[in-house]
Structure 1
Amino acid sequence: MDEHRGRGRPRKDPAALARWTPPEGWSRLVAWISPEEKKALKHVAVEAGVSVADLVRALASGLATGAVTHGELVGQVIRGKQVMEKIPTLFERDERFHVVDRPRPECAWVFEGAGVGTEKLDGTNVRLTVRSGHLVRVEKRRNPGKAQKQQGIVDGWYVDTSGESAEDKWILAAAANTDVSAWPDGEHPCEALGPRIQGNPLGLDDHLCVPFDLAAPRLTEVPRTYAGLREFLAGLDSRYSPGHPAEGVVFHHPDGRRAKIKRKDFPRTA
């Protein structure tokens, strides 16, 4: 009998799964993932004709042998973290949810002068997937509800839009109006903007999507203190849509970290 039988239900004990003994020195890796992430992994595994475990091992083997470079993988990890994790606000908040003059530790790099600022656009967070200059997928961000937050789920995720959903109508219109022909292949987090999205605070005539990584307006000489940012945002005109107030600023660190601050985060009076 073959001692290296794969997983299955042995004839002598159908209620039990077969055991597989790993080679000497191997270790087990366990990670918690969302249902959507699990589905994505399974999809790739099916495409490759392997199990999810073999898919993970293949990735590790590729790294170990140099077939996949560390730089390539780190770049993908940073992109994934950028689009799935909530961007931290620069300052702590009080009981009324206004920011106070107490920087958050994870945003210390901003106050040290690192990174650059871009205008924070006021719309709906979406993600467009592009292949060979063509739009192949449109997703929208979903944030955890109260029950999920009680389970420790604090970061949002993306779900597919549907042409049959009235809720997704204007997101899809924005995506359809966006020229992606020059965009590089990949998944691009964007802000969907337009007349029927979030009250159209920028006064736009058409719906479209603005990619964070390609077209967010850069802001120069942004203050990096509580008082300075408060004054700066109070009079900041939108660079993307002049004549309308900008929602806020997003700081981008070269290593992929981000931090944000919005005009409405500050209390109205000192």
Structure 2
Amino acid sequence: MVEVRRSGRPRKTPGQLARWTPPEGWSRLVAWVSPEEKKALKHVAVEADVAVADLVRALASGLAGGFITAEELIGHVRKGAQVMEKIPTLFERDDHFRVVDRPRPECAWVFDGEGTPTEKLDGTNVRLTVRSGCLVRVEKRRNPSKAQKQQGIVDGWYVDTDEHGAEDRWILAAARNTDVSDWPDGEHPCEALGPRVQGNPLGLEEHRCVPFNLCVPALPDAPRSYTGLREYLAGLESRFAPGHLAEGIVFHHPDGRRAKIKRKDFPRSA
């Protein structure tokens, strides 16, 4: 008889989570996913009548057992990466998803010397609306779904945060901790950062929002070649959080176009 492992809290001790000891040699895999991706995973899990963790393990088991080929999986991963990517990466990628010395045509303006390089801050994209030095609205970015992309909708948009929604708790905390008293009236795209946002790679002690148009650190000495950027990013210290490595660079064109490159995009052995 197969033992069914149920998730949730035991009825006799509802204050404690159910515990499960993994088999010897197993390891834990953790990944950050968007609310939309989490919802999609849960939907498939419900249809399959399994837990999300079992769904992920089934995929890994299928790959290990040869029921799913690496080529099939890579094809789907590439499609997903194309949907996820909001700002184009400067260079094309190889079969291992690392960048190669082949500039993307849509990023040619960067290599022509146009645009301003700034530090890429690893957080959540939000938009704050300010009036007379007061915060009056907090929005988060929403990206088009796969179906919407097929309809030609490629640019994202902003939607209001939910004051009572758990998924927006830390975005709102970052917004409230941000001093906007001297910000000009208007809508300000920002990056929400802090201890509970994207793993807090900059080691910040509190949540806050950094406006792209007011105080994101510029990097005027950033090179614009493959080799130059690889070497530059390998040791680039964050201007925003000294003592931590910067995640990467975002180039901003005056007409609104952007392009990015991250330290981890380059091959490790390069």
Alignment TM-score, normalising by the size of structure 1? 0.65
SS in 1 for 2:167: helix
Partner Cα separation in structure 1 for residue 205 and residue 230 of structure 2: 30
1 CA distance for matches of 2:94 and 2:141?
27
Aligned AA (2:154): V
| Ranges in structure 2 where 5+ consecutive residues have no aligned partner | 1-84
Matches of 2:92 and 2:155, distance apart in 1: 18
Alpha-carbon shift at residue 232 of structure 1 (Å): 0.8
Query: In 1, Cα distance between the equivalents of 2:163 and 2:254?
Result: 37
Aligned partners of 2:252 and 2:239: how far apart in 1? Answer: 17
Q: Give 1:220 deviation, angstroms.
A: 2.4
Paired residues, number: 186
CA-CA distance at 1:269 after TM superposition:
2.2
2:136 is the alignment partner of 1:127:
no
Aligned twin of 2:221: 221
Structure 1: how far apart are the matches of 2:110 and 2:207? 32
2:96 & 2:186 partners in 1: Cα distance? Answer: 39
**Residue 174 (structure 1) aligns with:** 174
Secondary structure of 2:195's aligned partner: coil
Report what 1:96 is aligned to: 96
Counterpart mapping for 1:1-270 below 5 A: 86-270=86-270
Distance 1:264 1:160 in 2: 32
Residue 166 of structure 1 deviates from its aligned partner by: 0.4
User: Aligned equivalents of 1:235 and 1:129: distance in 2?
Assistant: 35
1:94, 1:188 → 2: CA distance? 36
Q: Percent identity?
A: 81
Cα distance in 1 between the residues matched to 2:151 and 2:267: 31
Q: Cα distance, 1:93 vs. partner?
A: 2.1
Question: Secondary structure in 2 aligned to 1:218?
Answer: coil
> C-alpha deviations, 1:216-265, integer Å up to 9, x for none?
01112111101110111111111100111111011122333322111122
Q: Report SS of the residue matched to 1:189.
A: strand
Amino acid in structure 2 at the alignment position of 1:187: E
Instruction: Give the match's secondary structure for 2:168.
Output: helix
| Separation (CA, whole Å) in 2 of partners of 1:246 and 1:268 | 17
Aligned counterparts of 2:269 and 2:256: Cα–Cα separation in 1: 34
Shift of 1:102: 1.0
RMSD: 1.7
CA distance in 2, matches of 1:209, 1:117: 20
SS in 1 for 2:88: coil
Q: Distance between the aligned counterparts of 1:265 and 1:143, measured in 2?
A: 22
Deviation, 1:133, is 1.2
Counterpart secondary structure, 1:209: strand
CA drift at 1:190: 0.4
Rounded Cα–Cα distance in structure 1 between residues aligned with 2:233 and 2:105:
22
- In structure 2, C-alpha distance between the alignment counterparts of 1:88 and 1:199, rounded to whole Å: 23
* Deviation, structure 1 residue 154: 3.0
Residue type matched to 1:252 in 2?
H
Query: Which structure 1 residue ranges, 4+ long, deviate > 6 Å from structure 2?
Result: none
Between the aligned partners of 1:155 and 1:112, the Cα distance in structure 2 is 25
The offset of 1:95, in angstroms, is: 3.2
Aligned counterparts of 1:176 and 1:193: Cα–Cα separation in 2: 12
User: Scaled by the length of structure 2, what TM-score is found?
Assistant: 0.65
User: In 1, Cα distance between the equivalents of 2:162 and 2:211?
Assistant: 21
**Residue 127 (structure 1) shift:** 0.6
Which moved further from structure 2: 131-140 or 250-259?
Answer: 250-259
